[in-house]
Amino acid sequence: FLTLTGADERIYAEFRKTFAGLRVDVLDPEELKSEPAKEKWRPFCLRFQGVVEDFNYGTLLRLHCGGGYSPDNTIFGG
C-alpha cells in the first residue's frame, strides 16, 4: 500500500465520512465541479491545512480507473 503522509488514515476516514456515496472507480464530474460539490470539497480540504503540505493543490484525476490518462478520461480537481 502507498502511504503519502502520516495522516493518510485520518484523511481517508474523513473522506469516506464526508463523501460516503462517492464512487471513486468511475468519477462523475458533477460530483467534483458543481456548486454543491464545491461547497463540500472546500471545507473538507481546509481540515488538512497545517497537517498536509500543499493541502490545497490540484491534481489530475482519471474519470474511469480502468482507462489511462487521456483528454477524454482526465479532469483537473483542485
Which CATH number goes with the domain that contains 54? 1.10.3560.10
In a domain, 27, yes or no: yes
The total domain count for the chain is 1
**Owning domain of residue 46:** 7-77
Q: What is the pLDDT along the chain (78 residues), one digit of tens a residue?
A: 688 888 999 999 999 999 999 999 999 998 888 999 889 999 999 999 999 888 888 889 999 999 999 999 999 987
Does residue 36 contact residue 43 with C-beta atoms inside 8 Å? no
Question: What local confidence, expressed as pLDDT, does residue 10 receive?
Answer: 93
Tell me, what's the pLDDT at 32? Answer: 87
For residue 47, is it within any domain?
yes
Q: Comparing C-alpha atoms, which of 20, 56, 8 is closest to residue 31?
A: 20
- Residues contacting 47, CB < 8 A, separation 6+: 14
Q: Indicate whether 35 belongs to any domain.
A: yes
Q: What is the pLDDT of residue 77?
A: 83
Flag whether 26 is in a domain. Answer: yes
pTM for the predicted model, two decimal places: 0.79
Q: Are 25 and 73 in contact (CB under 8 A)?
A: no
In a domain, 2, yes or no: no
Do the domain assignments include residue 38? yes
Please name every residue paired with 59 in a beta bridge, in sequence order, or none if there are none.
Answer: 77
The answer to whether residue 1 sits within a structural domain is no
